[in-house]
Every structure is written in structure tokens, then in C-alpha cells.
Amino acid sequence: MCGIAGIWQRDGTPLQNDTLASMARTLRHRGPDGNGEWRAGCIGFAHTRLTIVDVSERSAQPMWNAHGSRVLVYNGEIHNYKELRAELGAEGVSFRSTGDTEVVLASFEHWGESAFERFNGMWALAIWDARERRLILSRDRFGIKPLYYSVRDERIAFASEPKAILAAFPGERRFDGEEVHSFLRGGSPDVRDHSFFANIRAVAPATWVTFTAAGPARAAPYWRFEPGEVEAPRADTAERFRALLADSVRLRMRSDVPVGATLSGGLDSSAVTRLAAASGGTLDCFSLRYPGKPYDESAYAAAVADSAQYRMHWVEPDADEALPLVHDIVWHHDAPTPIRGRLPHWSVMRAASRHVKVTLSGSGGDELLGGYGHFFLPFFLDRLRSLRWRSAISIRGLYRELSQLNEVSGDHRAVLTSIALRRLKRQFASQPWKRFESRHFASQFGDLHPLRRRAAWSSARAPRPFASHLNNALWLELSFGGLTEALHAADAISMAFSIETRAPFLDHRLVEFCFSLPYDEKIRDGWTKSILRRALENDLPSSVLLRRQKLGFPAPYGEWLAGKSSYLALRDVLLSPACLSRGILDPGALRRALSFDARGSDFVRHNADIVWRMLTLEIWFQKFIDAPVRAAA
């Protein structure tokens, strides 16, 4: 896991002396174990190294082939590198190192762009092909690792984080108004190639981009999942799922440095932790604890890590740190952020950094298996369609099923109506956000793009590769914002502490398998993630296996932000002359909401998600737009 950066002056202008170094300095947190630089007149690469596999200098970067005709900088891990190495070795390829970086370069030498399809892992890479004078950028299938680029006239710059581009080219400190507008309306950020900077794009997941000496960039997908048997039931579903997940964990345990696990006590992280522990040795586990609080999940985490094979590290976030940490979180995101999980995740990664360099997470499980509440509505429509010509008894059974999913007692018809109305309100309405965006700023942009909404699956503009509403909703969550936003957070916060986070649920083999199954393998008989529960029924304690409540990374954000010192600091940011003069937020609405009396703190307490978005947006403006970006926060 590393930081990468590079520049190509296509008109032949030599690189300025300190440009690459200034980019690398901003990425030092991503790779504190070493650094390297390669230059060839008008092109150059920089690399900051976090040693995980083959910690020797033989795997240092930038790395070039025997002829010097191709040069690679690479961030990530190709988990099946041993298998690829053996395949290449059988065809006469020799290696001088034992790591995956040389395998990446040799794979491209041998198979060209089709090598990306063979990789099982997470990556962001750049290859300079001197023979054909072209620059190639590639990113993993789901966007686990970040990669950004900027093109201005004949100059191309790329980096793991936008701040590295800004450090070398401060003229790119311009914001994308449409992205800001979408964010303030509650839309998902990190959709495909978007960023908050007007002239900085992300390489879209599952895509490689080619730059030549003339003409625009050419982007092409290398992976389009189209299941051969669309949503077909099979007899060995649970067994096959467990085998794939277990093998994914096995591959992601490959490391020459210690590996740990983030354990929330939820189903996904518990499954990964138990399968990781099966590999032998002592596993360091990092878990949140809020003694005496209703959102404390430590009992579930302790039930999973129930033997001497697990070394538990309990993390108790400090409310007094909330506001100072928001500044650090924004700096490492290079963007304003939604609120979910940010503060407790920061505390967990900080604790983990004292013990391990690699952690396994349950990321992707909810998006793959229907773990979020906003998937209930498409599931309901699928179930209703399947019962169209069934009896009234079957319909009543559906009401009971939905009641169990939602953990609500009472009349099932009322429960069904409540679910539908609540989901519709959350997914389609943007009124809570409108009240703080200035009318003049909002008038420059249209309505929120349908693919930015939680209910993207219901839009006529949404792709529908599957027969069921639920599978289409899950696919859009993986493809347009929901998952990529969460992965951006996972990368930004873990790399702030020089930790590599691996996500076994995002092995493409497992994803392809799950999307080849019917919708009711994910939600069935009143249980979310039904296939995971069935597959791991002999691995997990019953308290976790039969748990319905979902919390994720819980935290009392409203209480933290509404505390006296935090509230005053928050108020200073949002009511500062700089914020009020931008023309983006409505000064009158802000002043009314953030009053000095108890109503102000009450507003923050009950509207933490809205306040967080506005707060992180203003902090982002201050750090990335108002002043030149420097190497340290």
C-alpha cells in the first residue's frame, strides 16, 4: 500500500526540479517506509512506500522492466500474485523479487491490458510505455484504491490523492459547483469519475485510461459483470458462498507484516474475523466500546473473539476530540464527507496503527447482500410480484416478513405502509437539505441526478441488468456512489495511519456469484443477508447469527457535535465571514439554526447529518480552495 504520483508534459517541456517531490511530500502518510522517483525528461513518477509484501528493496518503486521501456508505479495489493507468478514462471518469465509489484509489471508485459482482468485485488497503477509513448492508468473493479488525474493543455498529472496534484499545480484549486450542489442535496459523492475539483477526475472503477501524445484521454472498462445464469437458484448456494468467502479471506491474509481485523460485532466483520482466525496464529481485533450506552456492541464482538486466539483491543472514542478530528478527516478525504462512521472509524484506525499494518474489514457485505434498510422497498416489490396470483394468506405472510425485517410489532398492514412511506420519504425527498442552500447557488443547477439518490434503482435512467428490483438496487449501490463513497472513507482514514485495509467481501468471484443468485437468497423469511447466515451458521455464535439490529460504526454524533465546546467551534466555522460570503449556504438560515440559545445546540443534536455535511464542506473550502495546499495538515 503506497502513494503514487506522476506528471507528463506531452509537449516535451522538462519537469521542474521540485514538482514530483512536492507531490510525494503530500502522500507521505500513505507510504512512510520509503520513497522513490524516476524521471525521463518530460515525464516522471514518484512513489511513497508502505512495505507489506516483500519488504526488501527488490520491490522498491518506481519499477521498470529489463529494457527500461516500461515503468510502473503501483498502489494496492494483487492478492493472487502467487498464482499469477507461477503461471508466468511456467511460460519462462523470471523474477528477482518475491512481491506482487514485479508480478503486476510482468503481467502487463505478458498479457497487455487484459492483465487487469486476471488481477484479484485492489489497485491503482500507472504504466509508462516508452515504445508507444503512452501513459496508462488503471483502477480496481470496485474503486477500493483511489486514483485521480488532471489534464490542462499538454500537462497530465495523476496521484493517489487530489492534494498531491494541488501541491504541484495550485491553479487546480477550483471547486465543481454541481458536485457541491449535489452534496448539499444529500446526494452520494464519489460517483464514477467525479471529484469536488473542477478539473480533477477520478479514474472510474473497473476502468483503464490511456493518454497518448495527442488527443483526449481514452477510457475503457476491463470488467463488465454479466452473469451467465441470471438470478438462477442452485442447490449448493450456502456451501459455495462459504467456500468463496473463505478463499477470499485466505488470499487477503497474505502479508509479510502483521494482519488484524476490525470487529464491530455485526454479521459481516464477525464472519471475516472468524474465517481469518481459522488460518492459525493470534489475530489482533479492534472494536468499539461505549460502556453503558444503548449503542454499545462490545458484547457481540466479545462473543466472536471468545478464545486466546484473539487479542482484543477496545477503543472508546473521546467526545472532546470530535471537532478537531473533523478537520483531520476532511484533510485526508480531500473532500467534504457524509457523516456515517467517520469519527469512530478514525479512533479504531488510530488504535490499530500501534499494532498492525494490515486490517481486514467487512466492507461491501451490506451492499452485496442487502443489509441496509433502504433495500427493503425493492425487496418488497419483488416479493409482491412473486405473490401476484397467490392467496391472501401469502400476502399476510409477506406483511409478517416485512415486520420482522423492520423489527416493528403490531398490525402488519400498518407496518407495510409505514415502511413504504418512510423509505419513499428518505429516498426521494431533499427538502431538509434545501433549506440551507442559497437560492442563487441552487438556481444554477438542476435537480439531483437520479443515480445520486438512494432510490436510484427506481429511476427510468438507471441501468437494469437484472430481473429483480433488489438485485438492481444492490448493483447500483456497488456501482454508483454508495459503496465507492464508503470505500473512499475506508482508504482515507486507514491510510491516514499508514494502514492497508482489505475487504474480502469484494473479491470479484464472490460478487459475481452473489449477483447470479435470485433476490431472495439475500433477504428471506424476515432475515437480511440470509445466504451469509446460512453459510456461516456453524462458524458464528448464535447471538451474532440471529441478531437483527444493525448499527455499523455507531456513535452519538449529535451529542458530540452539540457539546458546549464543539458547538461553539462548529458555530465559528459555519458563521465565519468566509463561509457566509461564499454564496453557497444561506446566511439567514444558518444564523437562525445556530443560535446562541439552547435551540441551536438542539438543532445540531437532532440534525447531525445535515450539520456534518455543511461543516465538512466549509472546512474543505478553507483547506483546499482558499489557500495553497501544503504537505502536512
Domains in the chain, ordered, with CATH?
A: 2-221 (3.60.20.10), 237-369+498-545 (3.40.50.620), 373-479 (no CATH), 557-625 (no CATH)
Residue 402 pLDDT > 50, yes or no? yes
pLDDT of residue 403: 64
User: CB–CB of 211/157 below 8 Å?
Assistant: no
What cell does 320 get? 472532546
What are the two backbone dihedrals, phi and then psi, of residue 48, each rounded to the nearest 5 degrees?
A: -115, 130
What contacts 260, CB < 8 A, 6 or more positions away?
Answer: 283, 284, 285, 286, 352, 355, 356, 358, 359, 360
> pLDDT band at residue 408, thresholds of 50, 70 and 90?
very low
**415 pLDDT higher than 50:** no
pLDDT reading at 534 higher than 90: yes
Rounded-to-integer distance, Cα 366 and Cα 474, Å = 9
Mean pLDDT of 195-216: 95
Using CB atoms within 10 A of its CB, is residue 120 exposed (0-12), middle (13-18) or buried (19+)?
buried
| Whole-number average pLDDT of the chain | 90
Among 30, 85, 83, 24, smallest CA distance to 52 is for: 30
**pLDDT for 50 beyond 60:** yes
Mean pLDDT of 150-157: 96
pTM of the model: 0.93
Place of cell 497487455: 112
Would you tell me the crossing angle of helices 482-496 and 342-352 to the nearest 10 degrees? 40
pLDDT for residue 456: 79
Please report the pLDDT score of residue 429 as a whole number.
47
Whole-number percent of the chain with pLDDT over 90: 74
* Contact predicate 28/11, CB 8 Å: no
What are the tens digits of pLDDT across the range 483-493? 999 999 999 99
Angstrom distance (rounded) from CA 60 to CA 546: 47
pLDDT digits (tens, 9 = 90+) for 242-285: 999 999 999 999 999 999 999 999 999 999 999 999 988 899 99
- Please give the pLDDT value at position 526: 82
- The residues near 216 (Cβ < 8 Å, ≥ 6 apart) are 151
Place 60 in a pLDDT band, splitting at 50, 70 and 90.
Answer: very high
Lowest mean pLDDT, pick from 188-202, 203-217, 402-416, 464-478 = 402-416
**H-helix segments, 262-321:** 267-277, 298-304
Which of the two residues, 615 and 452, has the higher pLDDT score?
615
Average pLDDT of 189-196? 92
